[in-house]
């Protein structure tokens, strides 16, 4: 009874070891050597077959773990001192030992970086340090100095359009006044139709005049605000607007 139980347990360990070995072999084939090493170790723990030691050494060698690979090659040879491929294994041992020695020598030869020491800087009487602190190297020199400049340009454009509209309405008002004066230039019989035409021209002329004044006012404000924003003027300008029969005059006194 006990012998049967022991045999069943051994068979189960052998089966599980074979499963672990199959998974390790799949990882080895896929190039995942560290996973393969873990799988071979699990198989060996379940079934101490020395073949698993050799497979572990192979996976360690391919993952550049030269020192550990040499250890597992020696463990395999300790259990199987005369394998059929003994010469090949001895060459592998020599290769990984050289690899381990080269890695150790490289680590010893590489000097440690010196500790970083910050030198005390003398005060810069020219003020260059302060300038660099305000505008460090690599700062974006393409950024506009005054971020409101685009708004100022837009305001100037609106002002120019408004002034142009004012001039157009002024010309229209002058045209209506001229039409009104030509209704009966040399005397004629005044009729209801002529009176209506005169009233219409007079009303249209007044409307055009009011629109012209509004255009000049809006244009003056927009132009002044645009110049103020574009030039980043700190002091508000004094703006003057004079409207006459032939147009309007805008004046501004800017203080920087």
Mean pLDDT in residue range 102-123: 62
- Which carries the bigger pLDDT value, residue 225 or residue 236? 225
Residue boundaries of the structural domains of the chain: 10-105, 149-184+192-253
Helix (H/G/I), strand (E/B), else coil: 242:
strand
At 89 the pLDDT is 95
pLDDT at 184 over 70: no
Q: Tell me the average pLDDT across 110-130.
A: 50
Above 70 in pLDDT, residue 111?
Answer: no
Q: Which residue has the higher pLDDT, 67 or 217?
A: 67
For residue 146, what pLDDT band results from cuts at 50, 70 and 90?
low
Q: Does the structure show a pLDDT above 60 at 35? A: yes
CA distance 215 to 168: 9
Take residue 158 and report the two structure tokens written for it. 């609106």
Of the candidates 36, 12, 15, 33, the one whose C-alpha atom is nearest the C-alpha of residue 24 is 36
Which of 17-26, 126-135, 227-236 shows the lowest mean pLDDT across its residues? Answer: 126-135
Q: Quick one: what percent of the chain has pLDDT higher than 90?
A: 34
Query: What's the CATH superfamily of 10-105?
Result: Tetratricopeptide repeat domain (1.25.40.10)
Q: Taking residues 132-150, what's their average pLDDT?
A: 48
Q: Of residues 39 and 216, which shows the higher confidence score?
A: 39
CB atoms within 10 A of CB 225: 19
- Over 50: is that where the pLDDT of 201 sits? yes
**pLDDT at 143 (0 to 100):** 41
- Torsion angle of the four alpha carbons 91, 96, 97, 98, in this order, in degrees rounded to the nearest 10: 90
- Mean pLDDT confidence for 32-58: 96
Among the listed ranges 41-50, 54-63, 234-243, which one has the minimum average pLDDT value?
234-243
- Residue range 138-167: mean pLDDT, rounded: 68
Mean pLDDT lowest for which of 8-17, 58-67, 84-93? Answer: 8-17
**What is the rounded CA–CA span in Å between residue 238 and residue 256?**
12
Torsion of CA 57, 62, 64, 68, to 10 degrees: -10
**Looking at residue 1, what is its pLDDT?**
44
The more confident residue out of 84 and 116 is 84
Mean pLDDT estimate for the chain: 76
Kindly state the average pLDDT of the residues 198-227.
Answer: 78
What is the average per-residue pLDDT within 48-76?
A: 96
CB atoms closer than 10 angstroms to residue 152: 19
């Amino acid at each position: 009874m006990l012998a049967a139980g022991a045999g069943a347990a051994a068979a189960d360990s052998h089966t599980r070891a074979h499963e672990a070995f199959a998974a390790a072999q799949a990882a080895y084939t896929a190039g995942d050597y560290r996973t393969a090493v873990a799988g071979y170790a699990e198989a060996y723990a379940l079934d101490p077959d020395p073949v698993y030691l050799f497979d572990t050494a192979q996976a360690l060698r391919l993952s550049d773990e030269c020192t550990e690979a040499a250890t597992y090659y020696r463990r395999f040879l300790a259990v199987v001192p005369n394998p059929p491929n003994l010469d090949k294994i001895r060459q592998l041992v020599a290769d990984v030992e050289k690899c381990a020695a080269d890695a150790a020598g490289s680590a010893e030869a590489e000097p440690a970086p010196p500790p970083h020491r910050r030198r005390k800087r003398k005060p810069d009487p020219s003020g260059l340090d302060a300038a660099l602190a305000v505008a460090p190297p690599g700062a974006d020199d393409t950024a506009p100095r005054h971020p409101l400049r685009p708004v100022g340009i837009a305001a100037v454009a609106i002002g120019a359009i408004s002034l142009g509209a004012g001039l157009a309405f002024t010309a229209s008002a002058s045209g209506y006044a001229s039409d009104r004066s030509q209704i009966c230039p040399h005397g004629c019989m005044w009729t209801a139709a002529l009176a209506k035409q005169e009233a219409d021209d007079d009303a249209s002329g007044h409307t055009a005049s009011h629109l012209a004044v509004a255009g000049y006012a809006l244009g003056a404000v927009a132009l002044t605000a645009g110049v103020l924003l574009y030039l980043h003027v700190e002091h508000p300008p004094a703006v003057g607007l004079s409207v006459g029969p032939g147009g309007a005059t805008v004046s501004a006194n800017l203080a920087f």
